[in-house]
Structure 1
């Protein structure tokens, strides 16, 4: 609306100036070329009639060529001005009259989340709030941005967040929390106004650079979050072992079963479903061990989070079961491998530095590539160049972590690394969710997007409890069941009682993937997946026959 008004002022001003010039020129031309005098208002009348093509008055026709050319010029100019006015002003005004505009007041919101300074970093947060059933509203002072967000079906309030009135319209006093996104825009004034208006409401601020964090702390922000720092940590965490195999005959088990990682194709019917609904894949005979969700590995699949580009499922099953899972997810699974071997890290900026620090603290052997000679790197150079990657040992590496400053560089480094080592596991970070699929196409095994990690950071802080419980790792373990000999096996009951999933029944060296209804015999053992605590309780009950008491085990989570 502001831009439209500005254009209108320029348009009208130029029209008035042109009208004055034509009026004076016409008055002078009639006296000089036609030998007839005209007052300025008579000349103005003729000019207006000519520009609007409504007539020419008593002066037509003109005797001289000069006056004829002048009148023709006036007519053409008038038509041009009318032609410009229709698309520039008439159509936009009609659109504004027809199209709805963002509201300036909200309904009776309570226990909601107020978002100020909306950017792409908030996209995943809004998705999670929606899935969690938490009301939210974006407060946006810029009219064009507010209109754009509103047309994107987001809940937006067109108010200035730096004013008390604007915050009152968002019902700040009844809000659960306020999220201030300062990664791209200057919203420090808004943070100050929020702290002054409602000091009891928790304020969380996203910042892009560490140097800005202290100013928001000075302004009274409860917690300042650096999504890039969290992204770097999540990238480093992806290297750690989350699934451990502890069976008696490992070779026989690995010959019969594979542990694969799947992301879900956006065209698949599973995309956008809840993470908890991924248990339906177990109808194929496979077992879902857990999932990587926006940088965190979880063993308890939540009803409040939906599958997106940043979700990776970890599944164990036979070849036939894995083929069925691949068909349902629309992607080919990649072999899960426990941590070990060389890890090459290409990292610059805050993301790269955090990734390196996370791996160093975990004691993981790494080779670091950086273009800055002053950085603590093993190889100085551009990670998109073949010679640099070869010097870093990419051909012998098990994992390649890419944490460069732009998605374009990350795609190039991924393509080059995949060409040099087709077997290397490539884990990349993306600035935007729009580039996740491009990175996967380039050869990345897994991709973490900054908006997804940022959204999860807020969810874990706004709510008193996490939307999902985190699991350090999953163990696939063989457990003898002498205490249950002679009883009928029920996979559902075991999972309900212990929280462990039955991967298979082992009997006399053979594995049975669908053992439901089989009667347990002496010498049988179960291949179970669960956390260390869950399996410890299973061993006590199933091997030793101890009765279960309240508080034992993890049970249903």
Structure 2
């Protein structure tokens, strides 16, 4: 709004200068061409009347020369021009500015979650909170973004993130928790300000650098979430398990039940088959919870879905059976197994390289900046840099870049230079995951997914997210709204796309759950599926 006031002030100064100049010219012209002497103030009055078209009949009988009449015509045209210029340049924009939505600066929500600020990572957390019926409000210092969020039906307010007045306006003293996910320094300021307002408020902070976690706790944070480190470890683990028959990236509940995701490689035994043809269900007794085909989750893969090198199976069963299935997903073509190229040496890339080294895997780290741990300084999208880094001798590439567009482009380049090399990629926004699969990546995990799940697991009572670091979501949760009904009656898989893989009842784990299994009010269900499917289940079955 200050911009418009400056614009108006400059326009008024310009018009005033024009009026004063015209008054001097008119006084001089009347004396020179018409022989009429008048004061400067009389000339000024005439110019104002001429420019505003308020009338100037008193002097018209004195205009006998062509020069005087041309001067008056110029003044009249100038007045009309000023009117036409003022409308589009000042008047109309001012009306538009006045009519434009102003961002709200306070909320009356209670028992809510205050989130500072809105980022692409926030969408997953917001979806988790909405599914659990937990109210929330975003605080952001971008007024246009706040207006956009409000117009989309999302509670948001405008304000400076680390100011006490803003946190009071967000009704922080009546909130169940505050989440701050900005940057490490600003997060610390928000924590200190929030802690001054309330000693009981639960404060959750997201850190980029592990070294600052202790500072945030000292400032007053109750929970510190480190999604970048978790993401780096997960990507590294995926790189070390895709060519092995060993099950490492697995959640085990008992000898009879484990849940895992299996990446099917090109040239493996399963490629080209459908799930029914593979015999996974019938001959191996494994429950196929669902599968990702080029980034799209299908809860019940049918004969129209054929397994290829971009398929990821989400399965549950006994560990020995899953190990047998894992062996069928490994390529029959031998790759060099002791070398992984890591693109990017931020927190995610550095953690991935450390994890691989701890597992005895040789790495080569490529980054634009020369720093500790970087082997090749250069652009991972440059073919010459990839050749220097030994892309042809590498079994996998882990891309941990900060920009999704660069990651997608790097994937395309790598697939042209070394088509047989497996690509495991970090995405920042979930909406870019399908693009990375189409570009040729074999496995993609988004930072927003890991961050949102880790935060939701801290904030949502009666729901424990067991797999924040995988593409699938596995939760332990109560389901009071379906108590007294059988699984077949509720038909959760058809309605939500997720699968109940087990139930905890009276300290006993029940794994053989058929359609006739009746859910009790005190049961805790273990449910698996995609993020969207789990959110559908939580909305349907929980309070």
Give TM-score scaled by structure 1 length: 0.64
The alignment partner of 2:121 has SS state of: helix
Name the stretch that deviates more: 390-399 or 170-179.
Answer: 390-399
Instruction: Indicate the residue corresponding to 2:305 in structure 1.
Output: 322
The 5 Å alignment of 1:26-175 reads 26-60=26-60, 62-64=63-65, 67-68=68-69, 70-95=71-96, 98-107=99-108, 109-140=109-140, 143-175=143-175
Instruction: Indicate the residue corresponding to 1:7 in structure 2.
Output: 7
Deviation, structure 1 residue 136: 1.0
Decide whether the 8 Å contact of 2:234 with 2:469 is kept in 1: no
The 5 Å alignment of 1:292-331 reads 313=297, 320=303, 322-323=305-306
Deviation, structure 1 residue 190: 4.3
Decide whether the 8 Å contact of 1:119 with 1:184 is kept in 2: no
Decide whether the 8 Å contact of 1:26 with 1:43 is kept in 2: yes
The alignment partner of 2:179 has SS state of: strand
Decide whether the 8 Å contact of 2:203 with 2:221 is kept in 1: yes
Among residues 456, 467, 470, which one is paired with 1:470 in the alignment? 467
Decide whether the 8 Å contact of 2:47 with 2:75 is kept in 1: yes
Instruction: Indicate the residue corresponding to 1:369 in structure 2.
Output: 366
Deviations 1:26-57 (A, max 9, x none): 33443344432333443333323333344444
Deviation, structure 1 residue 114: 1.0
**Aligned equivalents of 1:185, 1:59: Cα separation in 2:** 71
Among residues 446, 449, 458, which one is paired with 1:449 in the alignment? 446
Deviations 1:139-192 (A, max 9, x none): 345544433433343212245555544333322112111122323995665443
Whether 1:410 aligns to 2:411 is: no
**Aligned equivalents of 2:34, 2:215: Cα separation in 1:** 75
Alpha-carbon spacing, 1:143–1:70, altered in 2? closer, same or farther (3 Å) = farther
Deviation, structure 1 residue 362: 4.0
Instruction: Indicate the residue corresponding to 2:205 in structure 1.
Output: 205
Decide whether the 8 Å contact of 2:411 with 2:440 is kept in 1: yes
Decide whether the 8 Å contact of 2:343 with 2:367 is kept in 1: yes
* RMSD of Structure 2 on Structure 1 (CA): 5.0
The alignment partner of 2:366 has SS state of: strand
**Aligned equivalents of 1:162, 1:245: Cα separation in 2:** 41
Instruction: Indicate the residue corresponding to 1:479 in structure 2.
Output: none
The alignment partner of 1:355 has SS state of: helix
Decide whether the 8 Å contact of 1:259 with 1:315 is kept in 2: no
Among residues 354, 368, 375, which one is paired with 2:351 in the alignment? 354
Deviation, structure 1 residue 417: 0.9
**Aligned equivalents of 1:398, 1:313: Cα separation in 2:** 27
Decide whether the 8 Å contact of 1:286 with 1:321 is kept in 2: no
Alpha-carbon spacing, 1:385–1:491, altered in 2? closer, same or farther (3 Å) = same
Deviations 1:285-333 (A, max 9, x none): 99544679xxxxxxxxxxxxxx9x9x76488978x2634x99xxxx974
Decide whether the 8 Å contact of 2:428 with 2:448 is kept in 1: yes
Alpha-carbon spacing, 1:316–1:420, altered in 2? closer, same or farther (3 Å) = farther
Alpha-carbon spacing, 1:491–1:393, altered in 2? closer, same or farther (3 Å) = farther
The 5 Å alignment of 1:184-223 reads 186=186, 189-206=189-206, 216-217=216-217, 219-223=219-223
Structure 1 stretches lacking a partner, 5+ long: 261-281, 293-306, 475-489, 497-502, 504-528, 543-549
The alignment partner of 1:166 has SS state of: helix
**Aligned equivalents of 1:125, 1:403: Cα separation in 2:** 22
**Aligned equivalents of 2:271, 2:397: Cα separation in 1:** 27
Total equivalences in the alignment: 446
Alpha-carbon spacing, 1:213–1:414, altered in 2? closer, same or farther (3 Å) = same
**Aligned equivalents of 2:526, 2:143: Cα separation in 1:** 49
Structure 2 stretches lacking a partner, 5+ long: 242-247, 251-259, 277-281, 314-325, 472-485, 493-498, 514-519, 528-543
Alpha-carbon spacing, 1:454–1:17, altered in 2? closer, same or farther (3 Å) = farther
Deviation, structure 1 residue 353: 1.0
Decide whether the 8 Å contact of 1:140 with 1:159 is kept in 2: yes
Among residues 418, 421, 429, which one is paired with 1:421 in the alignment? 418
**Aligned equivalents of 2:103, 2:383: Cα separation in 1:** 51
Give TM-score scaled by structure 2 length: 0.65
**Aligned equivalents of 2:192, 2:230: Cα separation in 1:** 25
Deviations 1:50-104 (A, max 9, x none): 3334444433474455545544444444344333433344334444555543334
Decide whether the 8 Å contact of 1:344 with 1:394 is kept in 2: yes
Alpha-carbon spacing, 1:54–1:228, altered in 2? closer, same or farther (3 Å) = farther
Name the stretch that deviates more: 49-58 or 207-216.
Answer: 207-216
Decide whether the 8 Å contact of 2:350 with 2:373 is kept in 1: no
Instruction: Indicate the residue corresponding to 1:265 in structure 2.
Output: none
Deviations 1:383-442 (A, max 9, x none): 222233344443454432111343343233211211123343322223445644443343
Decide whether the 8 Å contact of 1:142 with 1:158 is kept in 2: yes
**Aligned equivalents of 1:378, 1:158: Cα separation in 2:** 44
Decide whether the 8 Å contact of 1:258 with 1:316 is kept in 2: no
The alignment partner of 2:153 has SS state of: coil
Alpha-carbon spacing, 1:437–1:195, altered in 2? closer, same or farther (3 Å) = same
The alignment partner of 2:127 has SS state of: helix
Deviation, structure 1 residue 206: 3.8
The alignment partner of 2:110 has SS state of: coil
Instruction: Indicate the residue corresponding to 1:477 in structure 2.
Output: none
**Aligned equivalents of 2:143, 2:355: Cα separation in 1:** 42
**Aligned equivalents of 2:360, 2:386: Cα separation in 1:** 22
